Structure 1
């Protein structure tokens, strides 16, 4: 029994709490008030995402606009008597697993969408198909019952007979294929086994022949092994002697080459000693060096460099000319001082004369004519001109004195070289250079000869060592030639024996190889024979299994065909049983809903794959439900829906009817109210919605929206 439901942010409902009681629960409200949303919330609470998949909806379709999450809380008493609370919280994208759970008598029993759905379905005793098709009669679905050809077959679960028949058909076809495969494998194995037996007989004959031939060749094979051992020993000794003689020849040639090389080297050493004796005589003839020559050469170079780098004016420098210019400069300096004093006095007199009044001096009062004043002014100009010439001459003297002072410095530096002639000095430098270079060359040659003479003792020791090495090489050469002669003699004795044994070895080797082939052939045939016998045993066992498998699949095929025949017979009987059970409830409900007394009965019938409700009148006439008015068709569909629920579920735990009086007149609505009242006697909880108030008088609980 459903106890109550609470909604938060579900479609149009921000907050809603509704209590449900045993009996009739009437949900009343105008169109658009959310009556259908309340019923849909019960379906979502029970079956979660499975209900959304069935109705092709999304969680976001259920969430109130602007809300982040919604919640449904449904309370009910299960068929096992326990009190359940189903809570589902969701967002626009999915269910919230941590806030989706089920309680049984206050204890958690499930968490998460799928587990909660399983608990809820067990609690109400209805699968999602039974709930959707029988317990929940949604608005606008009443006429769907007869409009869809296979709808009732799915409710009766008769389609499962077709599914089972398809499964059996596929199983029969698979059994037929397996039987044919097994029979084909059986026939192939029988042919293969016959071939294997013939092959075994052939292999046994071939093996006996190979063993006989190998036994005949065995003595020759044993003789071959002895001859081979001796032959290989002689070959190895011959090869060793060949290698030894070749090595001794190479050693002799190498020693002879070494002796030639030593003789050449001794000759070179002798020539080098003779050269050293000649160099010693040359060393005695070299002149003794002059220690002062190098100093004289460098001194002459220094003098020549000084004369060539000296200013040519230095040669014409006269010290008395410098002294005369210095004296002239001193005189000009004194004269400049005298002129400055006279000029200052003349300027002062001219200044005073310019202030004279009435021909008298303003200082002393003596007579002062204009001519006198003019004369003093001209004197001042003359003095200024003379002073300017003196200053100009002083500047010239300073420049000339600086030049002469510089020449004097060079003159003093090169004074001792001035009497010398540059060309004579150049000739002297060249003579000294040639003498100096000749002396240096002689010293270089002296050092070179002395260095080479130092090797005389080492050269003599090397010559002794060469004599010793030559004696040793001659001794080794004699030993190598002796050993070579012995090896060649032994090799000459060995070759005839080896040639004789080689012919016998080749003859016996051919027999030995035939024995090996015969023995290997016998072993290979023995292996093939064992493998063929094992394969024959395996084929016999597999043949037995193939025969048993073919027989088993043949029996399974026959049983499948018999089962399909039985299913074809049972399906009509099952359909008749379901129709009879539904008709018992349908006629009862129809008689309560009819408003014309002439309509005596209504029954469900099936013809050519479609279902019809056949209505009978008092005059015995029968006609299909499609001949009724729209309102009467709705009444028939409602009666059929109630009959299906009672016939297929027995006593349903609850029934939900959404707007069952849609498109009906007042008389028909009255009949439906009476039918709902009667249903409450068999169904513990009935929930019915309407935007009219016709159910109020029979309702045990009213929920206003």
Structure 2
């Protein structure tokens, strides 16, 4: 695998960044915080999201002010070009490959499907452990033998063999389970032949009983059919007799009902004839009242119209007269206002002149008021005197200087503590080895005598005691320094407030200087005089405007007066017309009209009582005619019903002669007994058929089990053979894993020795690597003797860890085409950084593509291509550095 291009948008400090990578060593360089390591994180997330190291969280990706995090990675593997694109904050992703002419989709729609496809192409663990050397892995190599073993296991992929070894154990357990299940089945079916013979005899007996029942049931069904036909005939005859008896009873009831109805109709016809005569008399009287009723209604309608119109017009006349009086009063008031207006205009001109004279002084007064308010506000914010501010400033500067001294000393103490702890650990392990050692001394290689052993152990114990005492002293000093650092931090918290107080004090002095330029009291007096004159003018102008607006209304008021006078004349004319109309109808007053209405009212009321007589007479005549027709129809129906009753009685007599109650009862008993017998036989046949089917099925299953027993015996032999093969394979895998680990560590040790010798200018003869159970021990050879890591200085330990980690990746160089190093030099001194340049040129060029991220400018000498990352206004900027030829 080789990376071709990386494009990131809105990722951490990167707004839009594109980086291209070539074969050879690609160096990404920049200051801490510039965004260079973010490019490697983006590469890892782009390929494998949502799989990622624990320290990478989705909430940390989006750039402040950005819209959506997007990452695109272009890479090549085995001659095929690929691209992976992700919109992290939108949940969109896809993967493509190039077929030589265009890009084709291979996976899309979600982050998980793209991750799963990428896992098949290059597993995440392989990329993270064999290809990508992250910051902190050097610390893991130096931390302990156990953590070193974990790094070796991950990088070399030994976990895969461990997983295979464990998976084979699960396979063996599954085979054991199937062997046990098969053995239990064979034991459970030992008597299968005897069960088959018993079931065959039972089936033969059942089939014989079914045959006998199948012969007898049809005979019984025929007898039952004949009995049911006879019973049905008797039931039908009895039903007809019962039906005729019911019809006769109903016919007799209808006959009596028709007789009653005929008598009722005769009575209603007589009453109808009498009512028709009464209504004819009322209709005659109604015709004589019609003329006077119409006269009454006409006069009543005119009275309502006259009273309503006169009341309405009299009200309007009063309203118009009141309006005219109010307008005349308002016009008189406006005459007085016009006389006052000239004097007020003169007074307003005098005030305007005075304001122009005071205007400049008033502006200066407003400026002074602003300065006075600012001065008051700043004095309220000032917490310290000038002397207190100077003292506080001095204390903060002293605290800053002391903080730098403490931090430098703490860093030095931390390094010394690390060396002492390693020394104590190495000496304690050496003591433990010496206490159980025999033959030659594991320290110097000489013949080990008791005296020599005790001498070395005593010397090491003194060193441990001295180192422990020094550790205690350094820890106490570290605690004192941390306590002092906390106190200094509290002091420095006041730096921001101090800066603010200094600014406030400077403002106060500036404002006081500004105010000295003015006669504040004189300006205050003139300012108040200006404000009072402006208020008087505003009030006067308001009154003038109001008076002028009032005078403008005079013409409108005069027009309104004319309009009201015209409307009053029109209303008075309408009142005269109403009185004339009353006289034309023959009345001099409303009282005469009311008297005439009282005279006509009784005739109108009687007319109303008789008004519906004509319609009622018509309805009664029609009703009487209907009753007479209904009487004729009822007489015809009565005659027909008497004839029908006679015919029903004759038919009943004939049917009763053909029916016997005793024969009907005997036939019912016969049908019931035959039906019970037939139902029993059928139920028995059904049960026997079900039993036959169950026996057939069970017999088939038993025969299948018999065949299965034969197959299970053969399967059991195969399972026992497979168990032996799996166990042998586990043992071979265990031996192979140990051999692979041992051979790999041997080769890694050789490579690491070469790199370490160069990093230390051949001060050491090499590195020793020992593989133990769940541990990988490292040592160094110095002056022909092997020493533990406690023998090394802090810088030499870092060099050893770097050499060992590079050796692990170089061991895999034949299998990998890409190596990524994130900050390989943070703890190396200047000389070892220069050595690392030579190592990169000699060893890392064995790998087709290397990507290194570092803040160290010296590494440029080893790079084929340099990409510089810088931070400008909070945004990362990337540019390629031209290499000198």
Same fold flag (TM > 0.5): yes
CA distance in 1, matches of 2:632, 2:865: 143
Instruction: Name the CA distance, whole Å, in 2 between partners of 1:226 and 1:15.
Output: 102
Equivalent position SS for 1:143: helix
How far is 1:525 from its partner? 1.3
Aligned to 1:243: 243
Distance 2:630 2:103 in 1: 113
Inter-CA distance 214–672: structure 2 relative to 1 (3 Å threshold): closer
Matching residue of 1:663:
827
Q: Give me the whole-angstrom Cα distance separating, in 1, the residues matched to 2:674 and 2:50.
A: 92
User: TM-score normalised to the size of structure 2?
Assistant: 0.47
Partner of 1:580: 743
> Could you tell me how far 1:472 is from its partner in structure 2?
6.2
Matched, 1:612 2:612: no
Equivalent in the alignment of 2:48: 50
CA contact 1:45–1:88 (8 Å) conserved in 2: no
* 1:641 maps onto 2:639 in alignment: no
Deviation at 1:261, TM superposition (A): 5.0
Cα separation, partners in 2 of 1:192 and 1:464, compared to 1, 3 Å: same
Higher helix fraction (1 or 2): 2
SS in 2 for 1:150: helix
Give matches, 1:113-512, under 5 Å.
128-145=124-141, 147=143, 148=147, 149-177=149-177, 198=198, 201-202=201-202, 204-206=204-206, 208-209=208-209, 211-212=211-212, 215=215, 222-248=222-248, 251=251, 255=255, 257=256, 261=260, 478-488=646-656, 490-491=657-658, 494-495=659-660, 499-500=662-663, 502-503=665-666, 506-507=669-670, 509-511=672-674
Cα distance in 1 for partners of 2:92, 2:261 equals 107
**Aligned residue for 1:534?**
697
- Which SS does the other structure have where 2:812 is aligned? helix
Distance 2:265 2:134 in 1: 132
Q: Write the deviation string for residues 566-619 of structure 1: whole angstroms up to 9, x where unpaired.
A: 224423422322431342243244145234868444243222312222444565
Change (3 A) 1:602 1:514: same
Relative distance call for 1:544 and 1:155 in structure 2 (3 A) is farther
**CA spacing shift, 1:214–1:579, aligned 2, 3 Å:** closer
Paired with 2:680 and 2:705, the residues of 1 have a C-alpha distance of: 36
Tell me how far apart the structure 1 counterparts of residues 624 and 63 of structure 2 sit (CA, whole Å).
118
1:334-376 residue CA offsets vs partner (Å, 9 max, x unmatched): xxxxxxxxxxxxxxxxxxxxxxxxxxxxxxxxxxxxxxxxxxx
For residues 97 and 32 of structure 1, the distance between their equivalents in structure 2, rounded to whole angstroms, comes to 31
Structure (1 or 2) with the larger CA radius of gyration: 1
Give the CA deviation at 1:650: 1.5
DSSP 3-state at the match of 1:649 = coil
1:659–1:689 contact (8 Å) kept in structure 2: yes
Q: 2: CA distance between counterparts of 1:475 and 1:455? A: 30
Question: 1: distance between equivalents of 2:203 and 2:654?
Answer: 60
For the residues of structure 2 that align with 1:72 and 1:266, how far apart are their CA atoms?
106
1:518 to 681, 691, 694: 681
Q: Which residue of 2 aligns with 1:355?
A: none
Cα shift at 1:249: 5.3
Q: In 2, distance between residues paired with 1:511 and 1:8?
A: 95
CA–CA distance in 2 between the matches of 1:117 and 1:512?
77
Deviation track 1:234-284 (CA, whole Å, cap 9, x = no partner) reads: 3432442343345345545765x4697599789989x979xx9x9xxxx9x
Residue 553 of structure 1: CA displacement? 7.2
Q: Is the 8 A contact 2:25 2:845 kept in 1?
A: no
Kept in 2: contact 1:73–1:85 (CA 8 A): no
Per-residue Cα deviation, 1:8-65 (whole angstroms, up to 9, x for no partner): 8775677988887765556665x5274xx43552563476152784234257756665
| Structure 2 residue aligned with 1:425 | none
Residue 41 of structure 1 corresponds to 39
Contact 2:248/2:645 (<8 A) preserved:
no
1:188 to 1:573, Cα distance in 2 relative to 1, 3 A: closer
Cα distance in 2 for partners of 1:193, 1:19 equals 79
Distance 2:264 2:60 in 1: 115
Question: Do the aligned partners of residues 513 and 189 (structure 1) sit closer, same or farther apart at CA in structure 2, a change above 3 Å counting?
Answer: farther
Give the distance between the partners of 2:863 and 2:16, measured in 1 at CA.
24
Q: Distance in 2 between matches of 1:86 and 1:468?
A: 107
Q: Aligned to 1:54, what secondary structure does the other structure show?
A: coil
Q: For residues 688 and 573 of structure 1, do their structure 2 counterparts lie closer, same or farther at Cα, with a shift above 3 Å needed?
A: same
Q: Cα distance, 1:533 vs. partner?
A: 0.6
Q: Is the 8 A contact 2:765 2:781 kept in 1?
A: yes
Q: Pick closer, same or farther for the CA change 1:90–1:653 going to 2, 3 Å.
A: same
DSSP 3-state at the match of 2:52: helix
Equivalent position SS for 1:606: strand
Which whole-Å CA distance do the structure 2 matches of 1:6 and 1:547 have between them? 66
Task: Structure 2 unaligned segments of length 5 or more: list them.
Answer: 279-284, 293-586, 589-612, 870-885
Q: Distance between the aligned counterparts of 1:23 and 1:263, measured in 2?
A: 129
Unmatched 5+ stretches in structure 1: 284-290, 299-408, 411-443
Deviation at 1:644, TM superposition (A): 1.4
Aligned residues of 1:217 and 1:512 also touching (Cα < 8 A): no
Residue pair 1:7, 1:15 contacting (<8 A) in 2 also: yes
Give the superposed CA RMSD: 5.9
Q: TM-score, normalised by structure 1?
A: 0.57
Partner Cα distance (1:616, 1:243) in 2: 129
* Contact 2:234–2:664 under 8 Å retained in 1: no
Number of residue equivalences? 528
The 1-side partners of 2:683 and 2:769 are apart by 89
**Which residue of structure 1 lines up, in the alignment, with residue 397 of structure 2?**
none
Task: Provide Cα deviations, 1:632-652, integer angstroms capped at 9, x if missing partner.
Answer: 332322222222112223175
Within the alignment, does 1:653 sit opposite 2:817 as a pair? yes
Preserved CA contact (<8 Å) 2:129 2:154: no
- Pairwise CA distance, 1:3: 7.6
SS in 1 for 2:846: coil
Which residue does 1:356 correspond to in 2?
Answer: none
Aligned to 1:683: 847
| Secondary structure, counterpart of 2:685 in structure 1 | helix
Alignment partner of 1:602: what SS? strand
Write the distance in 1 (CA, Å) between the matches of 2:262 and 2:67: 115
